[in-house]
Amino acid sequence: MMLDFLKTYVRAVSLDDARFDRFFASGVKRSDFLLFEESVVCEFKEIENFNVGNRVEHLVKKNKGAQTNLKRDLYNTISNALSTANQQIRETKNSLGSDEALGLVILENLIPTDLSVLSLIDAADRKMAQGLDSTDGVLCLDFVNTFIGTDGSYIRFAQIVVRNVERSEKLYALVGEMLDDFGGSHNTPIHEDFHISKADQIWKTNKTGQYQDYSATLNILGEPKE
């Protein structure tokens, strides 16, 4: 959904355009887009083809019920996608001579029921703390799963994971503009400044370790700003 938007977004330029070929030597990885007058190098990754239930059953059996490394192992697919995206951003910056450009990874979850945007946020936060030297922020999206607000409305939650530095603050503002434009193109209201009091996710198995289901809850305090 976001990828289709970026392909036609007036503030995005596809790096697949032939005019960029001369900048990239054979075998050098390149990112997907330049955003906001080429001030942001953006790589888009979809999280799919990932059997969550099988992974949970394997991890429960391997760890014999221990939860210490469950998320680390479960998030391995997301973590690998982030590492690859970071490398693509780094090589794109080097090839274009754009060392000062901001680096943005967009993760979009395409797995219904067994995963949610909370998983992407958690995995991105862990990965950002460990490195991702060329990435200033990770925008986490999920359009296949929804949360239900206290008023009964359906919420598709999006979150950018950033560091507490000036570069990330600049990226945060630009991503906010992009999401406003995205909402306008889909005739969808965009709300911001949510105050989250609690966020939980649980992968449940039975006593024999057979996967049963996944649940995610998001508690929001106060009224968001539109």
* The residue to which tokens 């296949």 are assigned: 144
- Tokens describing residue 84: 């690859």
> Tens digit of pLDDT for each residue in 79-137?
999 999 999 999 999 999 999 999 999 999 999 999 999 999 999 999 999 889 999 99
- Count, in order, helices (H) and strands (E) of the chain: 6, 10
Residues paired with 208 in a beta bridge: none
pLDDT confidence bin for 220, thresholds 50/70/90: confident
Closest-CA residue to 77 (of 27, 105, 119, 135): 119
User: What is the pLDDT averaged over residues 15-32?
Assistant: 95
How does DSSP classify residue 223?
P
In whole angstroms, what is the distance from residue 79 CA to residue 75 CA? 6
Closest-CA residue to 109 (of 12, 210, 19, 216): 216
- Tokens describing residue 47: 């999280």
> Tens digit of pLDDT for each residue in 200-209?
999 999 988 8
Taking a C-beta distance cutoff of 8 angstroms, is the pair 113, 139 a contact?
no
> Tens digit of pLDDT for each residue in 168-205?
999 999 999 999 999 999 988 887 777 777 889 999 99
Give every CB contact of residue 23 below 8 A, 6+ residues apart in sequence. 95, 96
Report the mean per-residue pLDDT for the chain.
90
pLDDT on residue 118:
94
Taking a C-beta distance cutoff of 8 angstroms, is the pair 140, 182 a contact?
no
In whole angstroms, what is the distance from residue 220 CA to residue 53 CA? 28
In whole angstroms, what is the distance from residue 146 CA to residue 86 CA? 28
Give every CB contact of residue 178 below 8 A, 6+ residues apart in sequence. 9, 11, 35
In whole angstroms, what is the distance from residue 180 CA to residue 196 CA? 21
